[in-house]
Structure 1
């Protein structure tokens, strides 16, 4: 079969796309990048040259032109979330298959609008990048539970530190400090984490969970690309403290806590326990970003309430040859080639609805 022809929105000279999307797209015979659309035609031409793409790769500066290109099968959107609606809408209206980063939109309203456009455009394959579901670590945790090794799951506790929202941030990620942009610790970091937690324990809640959001650090120091301070005290409006307590649809009580900033020295960036009648699973990681993946992620299983603890083997696959950011994204692309939708637009709207409910409970308008 001929490769899937990709039109890429947002393949810039830095950021997430080059490290996460490009490695698999260039290595796999199942995909071929045939067009780039950045903020200008000139920017697209620079990306084509920088990443040694084919001379036949088209350069666009307008998402409408990309969407109208008959030689594109799949449009990939990896731009800032507040630009998703504008950049991906033309592709949905044209009936193109799409892969959009999470969050789907900057708000529930935008996510619903993109879902409407997807349905009206008759798009057959639309996927959202909640790729931690594909992680071998998550699959292994599910396998342990399904094997009955810890028996019935009684409860789960998740604690993480999100790195962003701390004392210092860089100019390139300054937008994370502004709630109005739609990409922040709540929507991105909490959104990814609560999704992979629920992919293990069960989606939905028996009743709306009790939540608390707070913006405790009102200012941040901003560093330029050279590491020098460009602003000692930039106002911050996005939340840096997130607590959630509730019972998921499967009946498992869940306690979830995420804060901004770096973890205390010697403490894991993520410490997640799943307690069962016959034992407990403990999942630890240097960061909570399972969707990216890092060295040092570990699964341990306690036998009953005793001292015996085993380290569970996380079996690798062909994606281990890539750097971590490209692994789960590559797994998603492989599934998409076989028409497997990792996270549908409908799923994403449900995740957005949970976040809007959390905002509403805390008196915040998206």
Structure 2
């Protein structure tokens, strides 16, 4: 079977794409990168050289030109969220398959428009990287519940610390402080997290959940490594999120996420799933199970035996041998699934996630 020919938008010298997307795309026989589209042709050529791609790889600077290329089957987009629409809309109109990072758009309206373009273009595979759905730790929790390891589920609590959103903000992530960009702790950190929680416990709410959003640090220091670039950098994006509601599955859920680092010596994520006969506890250094952490742990408290058991984490070829770093593993699983005809997260699913976040903003009187 011929490999899927990939046009990659946003493969720069640094950032998320080289460490997360490139390892599997270069290694797999199912995919072949045939074109790069960066902000300039020179930047695209530099990426082709830097990452040792074939000299036949085409260099583009215009997403419209990339979309016209008949030698491209799949367009991968890994740019800042406020640039998603302009970069993938041409390929959707051209009917090309697309893989795009979460959030799908910078707001609900933009996500809906991208879904419309996908449908009008007759796109077969439009995939959003809510890749925690592919994470072994998340799927292991789901399997434990399905096999009755804690009996009937009664409730769940989830508490995380974002890492970012504290007293300082790296200069390369200054945009996280601007709510209108669409990429921030609410949409990225909480968006990924609420999706995998619902993936395990059930999607939808019986009625809209009660939420609170707050920007508790409107002024932070903008830093470049150890150097302070701006002592009083102003931000309007929220760094504190509370959600409480009952899922459509009947399970009461509470989630809290705040910016900054965890209390010293405690996990950055503590997720409990309480059942009639036991309780599951998932902990890690932070909430990004879509990426993962070396210290991720699943435990079960058996009420009758009054014992706590550490559950060995399942592994596959992406965990073994050290070939793939943590950022690449779940992304690789998304690509592997796509090659087998499975969609990690559809545009329809993504619009539903956007609707939840939009409802949270509206409840809190925020125009996002």
TM-score of the superposed pair, with normalisation by structure 1: 0.99
After TM superposition, the structure 1 = structure 2 runs for residues 75-94 of structure 1, keeping only pairs within 5 Å, are 75-94=75-94
After TM superposition, the structure 1 = structure 2 runs for residues 101-116 of structure 1, keeping only pairs within 5 Å, are 101-116=101-116
Deviation per residue, 1:139-171 (Å, 9 max, x gap)? 110111011110000000000000111111111
Select which of 328, 344, 347 maps to 2:346: 344
Q: Are 1:357 and 2:359 matched, yes or no?
A: yes
Deviation per residue, 1:214-249 (Å, 9 max, x gap)? 00001111112x531111110011000000000001
Aligned partners of 1:21, 1:239: CA distance in 2, in Å?
29
Name the structure 2 match of 1:145: 145
Cα RMSD for the two superposed structures: 0.8
After TM superposition, the structure 1 = structure 2 runs for residues 111-130 of structure 1, keeping only pairs within 5 Å, are 111-130=111-130
TM-score of the superposed pair, with normalisation by structure 2: 0.98
Q: SS where residue 87 of structure 1 aligns? A: helix
Aligned partners of 2:169, 2:215: CA distance in 1, in Å?
15
After TM superposition, the structure 1 = structure 2 runs for residues 1-366 of structure 1, keeping only pairs within 5 Å, are 1-224=1-224, 226-304=225-303, 307-320=306-319, 321-366=323-368
Q: SS where residue 192 of structure 1 aligns? A: helix
Aligned partners of 1:7, 1:350: CA distance in 2, in Å?
27
Q: SS where residue 319 of structure 1 aligns? A: coil
Q: SS where residue 290 of structure 2 aligns? A: coil
Q: SS where residue 42 of structure 2 aligns? A: helix
Deviation per residue, 1:164-204 (Å, 9 max, x gap)? 11111111111001101100000011000000000000000
Aligned partners of 1:90, 1:365: CA distance in 2, in Å?
28
Matched residues, number:
365
Aligned partners of 1:31, 1:220: CA distance in 2, in Å?
43
CA drift of 1:297 comes to: 0.2
Deviation per residue, 1:293-348 (Å, 9 max, x gap)? 11000000000166410011111001113100000000000000111001000000
Unpaired runs of at least 5, structure 1: none
Aligned partners of 2:348, 2:7: CA distance in 1, in Å?
23
Aligned partners of 1:17, 1:303: CA distance in 2, in Å?
42
After superposing on structure 2, the runs of 4+ consecutive aligned residues of structure 1 that deviate more than 2 Å are: none
CA drift of 1:252 comes to: 0.2
Unpaired runs of at least 5, structure 2: none
Q: SS where residue 64 of structure 2 aligns? A: helix
Aligned partners of 1:292, 1:285: CA distance in 2, in Å?
11
